[in-house]
Amino acid sequence: MFPKTPIAWLCAALFASSASYAATPAAAPLDPVLGADSSSYTRTEARVAVMPVLGINDEDFPLEPLAAGQGDLWERIRKGFSIQEMSSPLVSKHTAAYAARPEAFERLGLRASRYLFYVVQELEKRGMPTELALLPVIESGFNPNAYSHAKAAGMWQFIPSTGLRYNLKQNAFRDERRDVVASTNAALSYLQQLHDMFGDWQLALAAYNWGEGSVRKAINRARAAGKGTDYISLSAYMPAETRNYFPKLQAVKNIVALPSQHQIRLPEIDDQPYFTSVKKTRDIDIKLAAELAEMPLEEFKALNPQFNRPVITGSADTQILLPHFNAERFKANLSTWTRTLSSWTSLKISAARERIETIATRFKTTPQIIRDANAIPPNMQPTAGSTLIVPKTSIEAAEIGADIADNAVLGLVSEGGARRGARAGSRESRSKPSTRARRTAAR
């Protein structure tokens, strides 16, 4: 189990559900709420207008712009509110709790500012209520690295099975449950499907948290008892987490609707894209990508948290997200880069017990570098069939490539002989499933 961080603790305590979250080892937040070194990277840089990138002919890295609106994004969100209001003691309780921590709420809003425009834009394209853009406040505190004991990951907290159901790749090299664009699109598709199923956004949200099967059973029980089937009527059959789920969203909506009434100052968010996507077909080290984009590594990771390894493998569907100003710098710097883009290649383990120490010697590195790059815990060794990344020993070494990355698994065995099953990614929790895990098995 990965260690908890201040960000995970505060998000879980203040703005998320009862699940506990842990950030990835690579994320070392400097701000206890924002999760990045905001002093070294300002929104002023991100608000620079998109300008044509001239004199660069690099088809591997085309710049994909996003449409922009005008004015204040919070006002745009308010105008799209359309879910039926809920007024209840639970809503009042949660509204008061959030309002009691104005500084934390404001900093959470600043972290959300990286992602909100894209979420709102996609909701409007689908004709969906813009309150849903606030749902990650409840799910993850807008932390795309959030990971629960139920093995739910990302801003939208997909468990592995539902992630696969909505075509979110989960392999040793990337976990698209943490991908800002892919997970948002999957979450909105799932929420729309739930709304189509129940005909009510409040019940759709109950199902998102509790599972559609559980909501159906609750509706059947209520009908059999001659009771209503709205959210409040069904609350008697819900677990505490689900009973509080929509009231929490309503509470956040109340604050966003009238922040001054609750003594909250929402951070300014212009109604324009924070990031653009840059497609790529070649492997590139994450650290080098951040350097070419002239941005702090932690900010790069905040926009691209889906990558499990220190290298981004190139493929036709791989994209990285960059603020517009940094995307332009990335293109310009890439056009003059003459050295290799990636310092890693792949190695498939064929021997039953090929030790990391032996591999390190062969590739002229240290065992710890191999362990760190592949997220292999101490006293564990890879099993036959596992795919590792190892340092390139020559400039001719092969790139990893999409086929290898998409099918890579990592099986581990303890040095004492106990085997751990093959796993696709690097963030598998070793704790028992929580109550949330059992409740959201359908999610």
Place of tokens 């029980």: 221
Mean pLDDT lowest among 258-272, 293-307, 407-421? 407-421
Q: Mean pLDDT throughout 1-18?
A: 36
pLDDT score recorded for residue 143:
96
pLDDT at 250 over 80: yes
Residues of the chain by 3-state class (helix, strand, coil), percent to 5? 45, 10, 45
Judge contact between 190 and 162, C-beta under 8 A: yes
pLDDT score recorded for residue 353:
74
pLDDT at 370 over 70: yes
User: How crowded is residue 272: how many other Cβ atoms within 10 Å of its Cβ?
Assistant: 18
Q: Is CATH 1.10.530.10 correct for 6-35+72-269?
A: yes
Position 437 confidence tier, pLDDT thresholds 50, 70, 90? very low
Six-digit token string for 111? 């972290």
pLDDT at 60 over 90: no
Q: What is the pTM of this model?
A: 0.80
pLDDT score recorded for residue 394:
84
pLDDT score recorded for residue 289:
97
pLDDT at 307 over 70: yes
d(CA 408, CA 413): 17
Position with higher pLDDT, 128 vs 352: 128
The catalytic residue positions are: 139
Q: Mean pLDDT throughout 301-307?
A: 97
Q: Mean pLDDT throughout 151-164?
A: 97
Domain segments of the chain: what residues? 6-35+72-269, 49-66+273-340, 344-423
pLDDT score recorded for residue 397:
85
From 265, 256, 249, 274, select the one nearest 113 (Cα to Cα): 274
pLDDT score recorded for residue 70:
56
- Digit-coded pLDDT (tens) for 167-184: 999 999 999 999 999 999
pLDDT score recorded for residue 344:
96
Judge contact between 184 and 192, C-beta under 8 A: no
User: How crowded is residue 379: how many other Cβ atoms within 10 Å of its Cβ?
Assistant: 9
pLDDT score recorded for residue 86:
98
Mean pLDDT is highest, among 35-49, 88-102, 352-366, 389-403, for 88-102
Q: Mean pLDDT throughout 347-365?
A: 91
pLDDT score recorded for residue 415:
81
According to DSSP, the residues that pair with 413 across neighbouring strands are 381, 419
pLDDT score recorded for residue 203:
98
Q: Mean pLDDT throughout 364-383?
A: 95
pLDDT score recorded for residue 351:
82
Task: Quote the DSSP letter at residue 143.
Answer: -
pLDDT score recorded for residue 53:
29
d(CA 98, CA 104): 9
pLDDT score recorded for residue 204:
98
Mean pLDDT lowest among 1-15, 286-300, 372-386? 1-15
- Digit-coded pLDDT (tens) for 309-345: 999 998 888 999 999 999 999 999 999 999 999 999 9
Position with higher pLDDT, 324 vs 31: 324
pLDDT at 247 over 60: yes
pLDDT at 29 over 70: no
pLDDT score recorded for residue 54:
28
Position 395 confidence tier, pLDDT thresholds 50, 70, 90? confident
